[in-house]
Structure 1
């Protein structure tokens, strides 16, 4: 592999051309932090295209087999995703609902070309990086239409949601669980759309730190996730669960009032702290004793669509833990399950009426340095161009004091950008 660094006069135009160019490949991972750079992620725009090698879960020992795949392809970028239903391999759990998207439980690929694009420079790696730069610069950005054909429907009616909500609160009052994440699916069958244009619109309507256009074959993940699931940087693991959501205000003063209400809400604070405790417990399984720390609790992060409460938990990895061990010990993301985790997942499968699949799993990459960074798959559209199935889920936490009307409306708020793209 040859590496080429080049100066960019207009990185925004180059990036848009690079996305258009990348979309022609069978395997694509386009990640855009949309300027939300923090101390924990060091990528502005990352693009991986082409398939030198790939890994697809066959439904057994996925984490161990993925580690073998990583070990056999060192010193390279390996992007991919892990689906929520891998929980069944990690615990004595099952998923009763059909896999309508027909996505595997995990897919990763070794790219033929990678691009790292910053504000002024780009680094391109591949067999002939100069030719890649020329191809991208010659690409014309096409104004495309969405071409969405299909009827978007809800798999869980409002009354069904309220009924399930009531049953889950009953479990909380019985002491089976003390928090659970209830999700519902919106879907269209035999649908068609232009996935690249859908992603562009989604990223315009809702730019987030973990924005992603992911494609393999005719299967697409179009993500506007604001949440980091887990990152590894050297010997440090870091997780940043989100619990606590408020809408943006129409004016600056209303916006500040909504932020103040969020940070002072006993319900939102207790939800966040419950998940912090769960994540601390998960990280302990990978940690050097005494190194798990909840460093930044209840920080407000503001995005175009919503304000969120985010906490940060870190630990030092103990000796002998592989990368996939550390992920498996924390999977699936605790913010999407509830607590206690296994009991919550059992109840989720019993009471939700759709398979989560890629949703509430993880999406990201392993780096050449042996690090990784994965987001939680939320605010994300899943589309299978072969069978025409389009799907996205939204959800929220149920606690003893939760109000079903407010939680239902929060589901709609979280899906606002996705509804807007498809309207």
Structure 2
């Protein structure tokens, strides 16, 4: 079904930049970049899927495709898929208008791994591999060479006083026992603003260099994502989830940096946030897991990224070989790190108190492989853009627990927003 060819490359970084620029030729693009982060569950350095052969826009279409067609699918599930999975609704402002689900079977798939470019083209266009490789080789990165543009005016959907009021309402729900954790998000946005999505992504990625970076184009809609978090991965009968809860800034020097990292790893409130979500993930995975197979491989382990330190836990489970990959998504989505606990109660209260339809933000982007395996990130630390409407948006959130100080939660949101704001304001 696919023609395979591999070519050695001399510079992985230069090759990645050329691939990304080359993708400008296509209306449907998913670019996944690990930024050379390696863990036991890494699959490749980067990959590029372009050209849409087949579209799948709902859960049953994807399930049917995976059952009947042993091939690749790339795309996303937005946060609002929750409304299909549960008796929930979303009626807030939505300036971006991303469809709820979009997946496509790529005509051309190019994987960067082991110092090589691996081309995997549909057989009907396999003859284009040689010429595409030559074209990619000759493509030069435009870097950040953008023409001067107008100053962006970033607006807040929830102003500071309103944020504090809403945070206190979350706390009231917790004191009543309705929930014990909720991820409270807010949107920053700009209207009538044009940007170059490719150059914007490159800047954002360079600032953050995260393990689950994504550039995606779906016609006139773009995602520029610097996510550090994996939602869910399947490798045969093994399923892996790596939720993040707990954030601290980087230090001014090495000594301060290590002190901040150690303080984060010992912080009772931050660890409590993480452990609550780890328990939620364990419960989600247990719906399908072979009895006794759900294990916590890492609990509240501190990881360091260019902008922040984070606490990450790794939960794994074994599932039956014939378990549907889509059913695994159904049973675990949305990810607990972006909702709270109990999950459904938290989502209802979130919908009541937030003021923006999350859409693709706090959803997930990734792929299904021909054997049914998959890997999906969490869409955070991201800029979203509707080119037709000239609407650009980024959202940030933090976990509210009974121990939360609204001022500290607000400052955590601003810390998480720093990279996106810097990229947009500096142009």
Q: Secondary structure at the match of 1:203?
A: helix
Contact 1:147 1:192 in 2 (8 A): no
CA distance in 1, matches of 2:149, 2:283: 43
> Which residue in the other structure is 2:50 paired with?
49
Once the two structures are superposed, what CA deviation does each residue of 1:51-91 show, in whole Å capped at 9, x if it has no partner? 111122xxxxx3223211333431x2211000001101111
CA distance in 2, matches of 1:73, 1:377: 27
Contact 2:237 2:321 in 1 (8 A): no
Q: Secondary structure at the match of 2:394?
A: strand
Distance 1:11 1:320, change over 3 A: closer
> Which residue in the other structure is 1:173 paired with?
175
> Which residue in the other structure is 2:25 paired with?
24
Stretches of structure 2 lacking an aligned partner (at least 5 in a row): none
> Which residue in the other structure is 2:66 paired with?
70
Once the two structures are superposed, what CA deviation does each residue of 1:307-332 show, in whole Å capped at 9, x if it has no partner? 00000111111354210000110000
Distance 1:146 1:33, change over 3 A: farther
Distance 1:219 1:72, change over 3 A: farther
Contact 1:181 1:335 in 2 (8 A): yes
Once the two structures are superposed, what CA deviation does each residue of 1:373-423 show, in whole Å capped at 9, x if it has no partner? 000110011101011111111000001111111100000111111011011
Contact 1:146 1:197 in 2 (8 A): no
> Which residue in the other structure is 2:132 paired with?
132
Residue correspondences, number: 417
Q: TM-score, normalised by structure 2?
A: 0.95
Contact 2:251 2:257 in 1 (8 A): yes
CA distance in 2, matches of 1:146, 1:79: 32
> Which residue in the other structure is 1:383 paired with?
385
> Which residue in the other structure is 1:108 paired with?
103
User: Superposed, which structure 2 residues align to 1:348-367 within 5 Å?
Assistant: 348-367=350-369
Q: Secondary structure at the match of 1:245?
A: strand
Contact 1:225 1:375 in 2 (8 A): yes
CA distance in 2, matches of 1:66, 1:151: 39
Q: Secondary structure at the match of 1:400?
A: coil
Q: Secondary structure at the match of 2:41?
A: coil
Contact 1:210 1:227 in 2 (8 A): yes
Q: Secondary structure at the match of 1:161?
A: helix
> Which residue in the other structure is 1:339 paired with?
341
Q: Secondary structure at the match of 2:25?
A: coil
CA distance in 1, matches of 2:349, 2:325: 29
> Which residue in the other structure is 2:39 paired with?
38
> Which residue in the other structure is 1:59 paired with?
none
Q: Secondary structure at the match of 1:214?
A: strand
Distance 1:335 1:367, change over 3 A: same
> Which residue in the other structure is 2:299 paired with?
297
Distance 1:83 1:147, change over 3 A: farther
Q: Secondary structure at the match of 1:103?
A: coil
User: Superposed, which structure 2 residues align to 1:310-325 within 5 Å?
Assistant: 310-318=312-320, 320-325=322-327
1:285 to 284, 287, 293: 287
Stretches of structure 1 lacking an aligned partner (at least 5 in a row): 57-61
Q: Give, in angstroms, the shift of residue 260 of structure 1.
A: 1.1
Q: Compare 293-302 and 346-355 and name the one that shifted more.
A: 293-302
User: Superposed, which structure 2 residues align to 1:370-409 within 5 Å?
Assistant: 370-409=372-411
Q: Secondary structure at the match of 1:268?
A: helix
Q: Secondary structure at the match of 1:415?
A: helix
Distance 1:392 1:146, change over 3 A: farther
Q: Give, in angstroms, the shift of residue 99 of structure 1.
A: 2.9
CA distance in 2, matches of 1:300, 1:122: 33
Q: Give, in angstroms, the shift of residue 138 of structure 1.
A: 1.8
CA distance in 2, matches of 1:372, 1:98: 32
Once the two structures are superposed, what CA deviation does each residue of 1:140-171 show, in whole Å capped at 9, x if it has no partner? 32242176644211100000100000011000
> Which residue in the other structure is 2:223 paired with?
221
CA distance in 2, matches of 1:346, 1:252: 43
Contact 1:180 1:399 in 2 (8 A): yes
> Which residue in the other structure is 2:238 paired with?
236
